[in-house]
Amino acid sequence: MCGNGCRLGSHLVVNKQQRPFGGWGYLIESLHYSDVEVVMRTLKFLLMLAFLLPLMAYAADIPDNLEPLPEPPPPPAGIEGDIPEPEVTITKRGEDTIEEYRINGELYMMKVTPKVGAPYYLTKEDSNAGWSRNDGVAEPVSIPKWVLFRF
């Protein structure tokens, strides 16, 4: 028997002032040795299972009676032509070359190539807003513009 009235070997004895396990001291104090052993055995088993299952799947023999998958059916007739090609109009304004890109007659992007300097793109943000400038290849930042109130 220990000084606190418990038998040695049935509980972990931890002094209340000295907590070797930090904040986990209360949990460790309440566990029996057998509980800790069960938890450790379970963790060991789960780790072994996690490492052995992929190896077992890799080592499995491939059956001889496998058949190739059939070819997928062709897409429906209306889907192939849904993406229209943009109409490109090239104009010159002074010494700058402007390429206008339209889909279904609506202008959505312009590429401006100045005589000196790098080309840049002007893209339409939405149907009511103006144009935003994009200098590089990266996607432009799209700022959400929700209408909350109209007066």
* Sheet arrangement for strand 87-93: 87-93, 96-103, 106-113, 120-124, 131-134
Q: Residue 79 and residue 44: Cα distance in Å, rounded?
A: 54
Residue 46 sits in the same domain as residue 99 = no
Domain for residue 125, yes or no? Answer: yes
Indicate whether 121 pLDDT > 80: yes
Domain for residue 100, yes or no? Answer: yes
Residue 5 sits in the same domain as residue 47 = yes
Model pLDDT, residue 100: 93
With beta carbons less than 8 A apart as the criterion, state whether 100 and 110 touch: yes
Mean pLDDT along residues 62-75: 85
Q: What range does the domain containing 106 cover?
A: 87-134
Indicate whether 6 pLDDT > 60: no
Domain for residue 99, yes or no? Answer: yes
- Tokens 């793109």 correspond to 121
Domain for residue 33, yes or no? Answer: yes
Structural domain total, the chain: 2
Domain for residue 150, yes or no? Answer: no
What's the pTM? Answer: 0.41
- Tokens 């040795």 correspond to 33
Indicate whether 2 pLDDT > 70: no
With beta carbons less than 8 A apart as the criterion, state whether 32 and 49 touch: no
Domain for residue 71, yes or no? Answer: no
CATH number at residue 91: 2.20.130.30
Residue 54 sits in the same domain as residue 97 = no
Residue 1 banded pLDDT, cuts 50, 70, 90:
very low
Mean pLDDT along residues 113-120: 89
Domain for residue 36, yes or no? Answer: yes
Residue 55 sits in the same domain as residue 3 = yes
Residue 46 sits in the same domain as residue 11 = yes
For the record, the structure tokens of 148 come out as 């909350």
Domain for residue 68, yes or no? Answer: no
Model pLDDT, residue 25: 52
Residue 98 sits in the same domain as residue 49 = no
